[in-house]
Amino acid sequence: MQAYSLFEGSFSVDASKKFIPFDASKDSKKDRPGSIFIHVHPFLIESANGLLLLDTGIGHTNPEGGLQLHDNIQKVGFDPGDVRYVLLSHLHKDHASGMVVEKEGNFRLAFPDAEYVVQQGEWEDAYSGKSDSYKTEIFDVLQRSGNLVLVDGDGTLNNEISYEVSGGHTPHHQVFHIHVGGEHYFYGGDEAPEPEQFFRQFAAKYDYDGRRSMALRQQYWDQGSVEGWIFLMYHSTNIAIGRPQPKESGGYRLVDATE
């Protein structure tokens, strides 16, 4: 495997859109009515063109003030300074807050040698003021850095990475196809965030276009299961990196690709 989960924690989210840490050993779901319970998994992929980071998490820090995301990258055996592409599905705060780190009271890029790839429309929407799911003070740092790469529509970054505007979770949400080590990795961001959603069709109220997201999940699964994609699922509470496996009765199940 050349893909790694950079697990950042377990959280509950209610109508306030706040991500509150949830520890199943001491916290009860009954005490958080109206909440959904999710994990947060940025992903790291080792490629011939350098390390690829898929979304950047909530931006939690360790007791010394260092970025937890940096620690997690080091735990899987890599140097955060070697990240060459930060591939952002969208810019909601639970996916983009780790793009910077605070040092001596100032925000700096967390990955100063990386190109940060964002859809042009998503960037403009983030600054529109229409949603409190964006933290524009973080984006200001990226805008000044010279590391921002705005893309418009579907395209290819290099011989390993391609992207598609999907537009279900946000109007300009994008997904990524990454071909490394003979594998096809698919990252669907918040349009394919949990394995259960491939098998239980519903239109989510938290999506910009819930019906579109529902149709896209079915499309991704129908194609990816047959072609053997490895699915990277950002909010999964069980299988974060999954591979389709044929069932004796026909069709496919999803199994943990790391085992």
Q: Is residue 146 part of a domain?
A: yes
- Cβ contacts of residue 70 below 8 Å, gap of 6+? 80, 101, 110
Residue type, 171: P
Q: Are 66 and 60 in contact (CB under 8 A)?
A: no
Query: Residue 49 corresponds to which tokens in the numbers above?
Result: 């063109």
- Neighbour order of strands in the sheet with 36-40: 19-21, 9-13, 36-40
Is 101 inside any structural domain?
A: yes
Q: In whole angstroms, give the CA distance from residue 125 to residue 181.
A: 35
Structural domain count of the chain: 1
Q: How far apart are CA 248 and CA 236, in angstroms?
A: 25
pLDDT in tens, 202-250: 888 889 999 999 999 999 999 999 999 999 999 999 999 999 999 998 8
Q: Residue 66: give the domain boundaries.
A: 3-188
- Residue 53 domain-assigned (yes or no): yes
Helix (H) or strand (E) holding 245: strand 241-246
**pLDDT tens for each residue of the chain, 259 residues long:** 699 999 998 887 776 677 777 777 777 777 777 777 788 999 999 999 999 999 999 998 888 889 999 999 999 999 999 999 999 999 999 999 999 998 878 889 999 999 999 999 999 999 998 788 898 999 999 999 999 999 999 999 999 999 999 999 999 999 999 999 999 999 999 999 999 999 988 888 889 999 999 999 999 999 999 999 999 999 999 999 999 999 998 899 999 999 8
Does residue 251 lie in a domain region? no
137 three-class SS: helix
3-state secondary structure of 101: strand
Q: Is residue 65 part of a domain?
A: yes
The verdict on residue 82 lying in a domain is yes
Does residue 221 sit within a domain?
no
Q: For the full predicted model, state whether its pTM sits above 0.75.
A: yes
Q: Name the 3-class secondary structure at 4.
A: strand
What's 28's domain CATH number? 3.60.15.10
Q: What is the DSSP letter of 229?
A: P
Residue 241: phi and psi, rounded to 5, are -125, 105
211: tokens are 């019906």
CA-to-CA dists, residue 144 to 70, 120, 250, angstroms: 22, 16, 53
* Pairwise CA distance, residues 77 & 49, whole Å: 17
Q: Does 225 map to a domain?
A: no
Digit-coded pLDDT (tens) for 79-92: 999 999 999 999 99
* 16 bridge partner residues: none
